[in-house]
Structure 1
Amino acid sequence: MSAEPAAAGYSIRARLLLGAALVLLAFMAGAGVAVQRAHADSVRDAHYARLQSTVYLLLARAELDAAGALQMPGEFAEPRLSLPQSGLYAGVYNGLQREQWRSPSSLGLQPPLRQDGVETGQWRNELLAQGGRNYLAVSYAVRWAVGRQAVPLVLSVVEDSAAFDREIATFSRTLWAWLGGAGVLLLLAQLLLLRWGLAPLGRVSAEIGRIESGAQHRIEGSYPTEISGLTDGLNALILQERARQERQKEALSFLAHSLKTPLAVLRNALQQPAQLPAAVEQQVARMDEIVQHQLGRARAGGASRFAPPVQVAPVLARVRDALAKVYAEKSLAFTADCPAGLSWRIDEGDLFEILGNLMDNAAKWAKHRVAASAERTREGLVLRVDDDGPGFTDTESVLQMHVRMDERVPGHGVGLAIVSDLVASHHGRLTLSRGPLGGGRVEIVLPLA
């Protein structure tokens, strides 16, 4: 129970900002590491290339006498080789004479100059450590022809990695400083974009607050496509709820007003005891009709895009089977024509009320046959009920409450009135006409919610 309020406290903006920060951090870290490694590899390769150039310099200045002894000059084009402890050191190992030449720069030091482990004609680039220092080392082995013999030489050049490390460290500080600054700017830009992008939701929330306070009646603003569906749905719910409340208030008002007359008749009948039983029976029946009609209006679901789809064929079949039992003594033939997969967004109770009243009214007037059908057209859901009775003579008054075509036919005169109210609540159309069976036809068209 305690976790839900905590989770609900996070705003969409905070979640998106946190998610963006985490993604940006991961991206920046990955990109920074990749760039740093690429730069380090590039700088290292450049250092190795310079060291290899120094090896070529040694190779060009090296000489061997007739006995195969190594002879090196005192000075080189690379001045650091002549400066003691300059950080650049060179050595040549003569495998024939077992002698090692070291550059003057190695005076007082023992840099890790190779004497073996290098294949002839092959370069060996490596990072070595000695005396608490790290060195970038390049070695190359050759065979020098002296007369009839080949003298193996191993030329090595090493450089203190301090300069390399400083260059890498300087680049790393600059790189992470720029990436950090770019990350902060991107987060600020993201925050501004989120405020701009989520502003319509804030306006929707403000409008809902004004609706709750009664300052306005619906969401009136113009919103982006992603939110317009939400605002349209909220407006539909608001209108539907207000229509439902209006129907209920109207039904209660009509109920109170309609019951005044039967109650007055009963009050007057108390003064005439002989007429009281008949008056009570008549007026109670009338009040029952009034209550049924007004309750039917009050509980009408009305058009709703959020109503679950209802399969029309099973409802039509249940009404048909029920009425076949009720009017078994008339031996009526009830037929129902409806596609098996036809469904419609409508309250199931409303659909039962419409079909039940229409088919019940048709059965009261039919001589032999009642036919009901349902189909979907471009206009919407079309319901038709036909009978082979006398048909309608006054299509306007028959839709009014307590009006019957023939007083000899049992009924309360409220069925078609209830259907008319239900169809109106669904913004539909009800038409009375003469049908193909020779009697009356009631056609109802319910548009999409």
Structure 2
Amino acid sequence: MKTWSITRRIFLTCILFVAIFFPAIIFSMQNSYERSLTLAKKEELSTTAFAMISEFEFEDGEVVMPSRLFVEDLNLPGSDLVATIKWRKQQVWQSQSSIDNDINANMFNLLFRQTEKHLPGETIFLSDFNEENTHFALSKKAEFLIDGNFEEVSFLVINNKNTYQRELSTFINRLWGWIVVLSLILLGLIALSLRSVFMPMQNIIARIGEIEEGKIDQINDNYPLELQPLQKSINKLLDSEKQQRERYKKSLDDLAHSIKTPLSIILGQADLSDDIKEPVLHIDNIVKRQLKRATINVVGFLPSIDVAPLTKSLLDAMTKIHQQKALSLTLEMPESASLSIDPTDYMEILGNLLDNACKAAKSTVNVTYKRQATSTLVCVEDNGKGMSELVISAITERGRRLDTYSEGQGLGLALVVDMLESYGGELHIQSEQNKGSRFCMQLPHQRFSNSVK
């Protein structure tokens, strides 16, 4: 499962917040603006109705309206605003704007039926009075003295929503545009802020890398107050680790001296029988091996080292040690080859593998270096008589003594495996009888060894 960085998590959270919060703001503002436009339209139509009432006259049994009305849109044929007057359920007047207009008598009849039961003086505004929801409508009833009686007269106004929809669409488009721009600016500022906030942490990581490479031994930069406890803890851990390693090595030296001295005295006895000398020598070998195992399990950061010079030095030494066999020792390793391992441990591991290979080889020993994605392989290959599958299985079996096999393949392998495991590495063995064997030490690209076992 892929692990996301804290910066990416925070940034994606901000994007999610913007994606939810800003549309909610747009929806709220759109509704508010739409209500404001609708209220303004109601006021506009009410003003139109009152203007018609003020201009309404009744003479000789007929409705009289001026040839040119106060509301200019009612005088323009085909405009979005049309008005009519109904008296005694009959249409007695219609504005000039009804000419060449889709607002027809059927729509006014529908409006009249919806509002005819309302009392005089009431103003009825309908924002969706027809099924298509394409028009606003307003009905205003007033009473006039006609032939000595007060009679109801309905003033009906219908307005097409085209202008209203254009204004609303323009507002929404502009609002979205500004929101998108503000979102991008906000996310940009958040990205810059995150970079600024995490820069000290990245600096600490860089300093830890320099400690791993052996360039510095403390983190001494100035950091924000929130990170200073972390800085102090890391420095304290480094000091403690260094002191612990020194104490550990000193204790091991003292232990080795205290054990070796009595053993040397015993072995120095001239009259020591073989029955006693053999187990004492065995104890001496066990002490050496266990002390060596203890020294490799040390906690601490390890710098990368150049292993090419060390490897060449070992090959030169093996050439001299096994000069009687006249072996051909070859090396396939770049000058920049590196490993995160203690130099002494590397010499011990590769020295064991080379010594075994030289003892087993007929004529050639080849050392190769290969850097992979997460680990590095250093392989030693010989053209000896090889080993059977049974022997290989036994060698790779955990808990089995690895130093009890015949000369050339088993010597020192227990120590090699222990040392590689302390670095999180492995020993891989490939062999084919009568063709030779291949021993590969595989070490991960890590900067620190395992803890004390």
Mapped partners of 2:93, 2:84: distance in 1: 5
Give the 3-state SS of the residue equivalent to 2:70 in structure 1. Answer: coil
**Residues 1:77 and 2:74 aligned together:** no
CA offset digits 1:283-329 (Å, max 9, x no partner): xxxx9xxxxxx9xxx9xxxxxxxxxxxxxxxxxxxxxxxxxxxxxxx
- Aligned AA (2:99): L
Give the 3-state SS of the residue equivalent to 1:117 in structure 2. Answer: helix
**Residues 1:106 and 2:103 aligned together:** no
**2:114 pairs with one of 117, 135, 150:** 117
Is the contact between residue 85 and residue 154 of structure 2 (CA under 8 Å) also seen in structure 1?
Answer: yes
CA offset digits 1:140-197 (Å, max 9, x no partner): 1122233542211111112211111111111111111111011111111111111111
Q: CA deviation at 1:267?
A: 4.5
Q: CA deviation at 1:20?
A: 0.7
Is the contact between residue 74 and residue 81 of structure 2 (CA under 8 Å) also seen in structure 1?
Answer: yes
Give the 3-state SS of the residue equivalent to 1:229 in structure 2. Answer: helix
Measured at CA, do residues 128 and 37 of structure 1 come closer, stay the same or move farther in structure 2, by a change above 3 Å? closer
Q: CA deviation at 1:130?
A: 6.5
**2:29 pairs with one of 18, 24, 35:** 35
Q: CA deviation at 1:268?
A: 5.1
Give the 3-state SS of the residue equivalent to 2:221 in structure 1. Answer: coil
Q: CA deviation at 1:73?
A: 2.1
Q: CA deviation at 1:242?
A: 2.6
Give the 3-state SS of the residue equivalent to 1:225 in structure 2. Answer: coil
Measured at CA, do residues 205 and 268 of structure 1 come closer, stay the same or move farther in structure 2, by a change above 3 Å? same
**Residues 1:25 and 2:51 aligned together:** no
CA offset digits 1:39-87 (Å, max 9, x no partner): 12112211221111111100001112464x4322221122221111111
Is the contact between residue 74 and residue 95 of structure 2 (CA under 8 Å) also seen in structure 1?
Answer: yes
Q: CA deviation at 1:209?
A: 1.0
**Residues 1:211 and 2:211 aligned together:** yes
Aligned to 1:90: 83
CA offset digits 1:310-357 (Å, max 9, x no partner): xxxxxxxxxxxxxxxxxxxxxxxxxxxxxxxxxxxxxxxxxxxxxxxx
- Aligned AA (1:18): L
Aligned to 1:228: 228
Q: CA deviation at 1:219?
A: 2.5
- Aligned AA (1:86): S
Mapped partners of 1:214, 1:55: distance in 2: 90
Measured at CA, do residues 205 and 272 of structure 1 come closer, stay the same or move farther in structure 2, by a change above 3 Å? closer
Give the 3-state SS of the residue equivalent to 1:154 in structure 2. Answer: strand
Give the 3-state SS of the residue equivalent to 2:127 in structure 1. Answer: strand
CA RMSD of aligned residues (A): 3.7
Measured at CA, do residues 131 and 33 of structure 1 come closer, stay the same or move farther in structure 2, by a change above 3 Å? closer
Deviates more, 1:237-246 or 1:151-160: 237-246
- Aligned AA (2:237): L
Is the contact between residue 133 and residue 160 of structure 1 (CA under 8 Å) also seen in structure 2?
Answer: no
Mapped partners of 1:271, 1:63: distance in 2: 150
TM-score norm. by structure 2 comes to: 0.55
Measured at CA, do residues 268 and 105 of structure 1 come closer, stay the same or move farther in structure 2, by a change above 3 Å? closer
Aligned to 1:63: 57
- Aligned AA (1:83): L
CA offset digits 1:342-376 (Å, max 9, x no partner): xxxxxxxxxxxxxxxxxxxxxxxxxxxxxxxxxxx
Aligned to 2:152: 152
Structure 2 gaps of 5+ residues are 277-283, 285-290, 296-453
Mapped partners of 2:217, 2:194: distance in 1: 29
- Aligned AA (1:23): F
- Give the 5 Å matches for 1:108-187: 108-109=100-101, 110-111=103-104, 112-113=107-108, 114-118=111-115, 119-120=118-119, 121-128=121-128, 134-187=134-187
Give the 3-state SS of the residue equivalent to 2:157 in structure 1. Answer: strand
CA offset digits 1:414-440 (Å, max 9, x no partner): xxxxxxxxxxxxxxxxxxxxxxxxxxx
- Aligned AA (1:197): V
Aligned to 1:14: 8
- Aligned AA (2:187): L
- Give the 5 Å matches for 1:396-407: none
Mapped partners of 2:35, 2:133: distance in 1: 20
Aligned to 1:52: 46
- Aligned AA (2:114): G
Q: CA deviation at 1:239?
A: 2.8
Aligned to 1:190: 190
- Give the 5 Å matches for 1:263-412: 263-267=263-267, 269-270=269-270
Structure 1: 4+ residue segments shifted above 6 A: 129-133
Is the contact between residue 116 and residue 154 of structure 1 (CA under 8 Å) also seen in structure 2?
Answer: no
Give the 3-state SS of the residue equivalent to 2:257 in structure 1. Answer: helix
TM-score norm. by structure 1 comes to: 0.55
Mapped partners of 1:128, 1:11: distance in 2: 53
Mapped partners of 1:159, 1:212: distance in 2: 79
Measured at CA, do residues 101 and 261 of structure 1 come closer, stay the same or move farther in structure 2, by a change above 3 Å? same
Mapped partners of 1:176, 1:272: distance in 2: 99
Mapped partners of 2:259, 2:122: distance in 1: 114
Measured at CA, do residues 252 and 71 of structure 1 come closer, stay the same or move farther in structure 2, by a change above 3 Å? same
- Of all paired residues, the percent bearing the same amino acid is 25
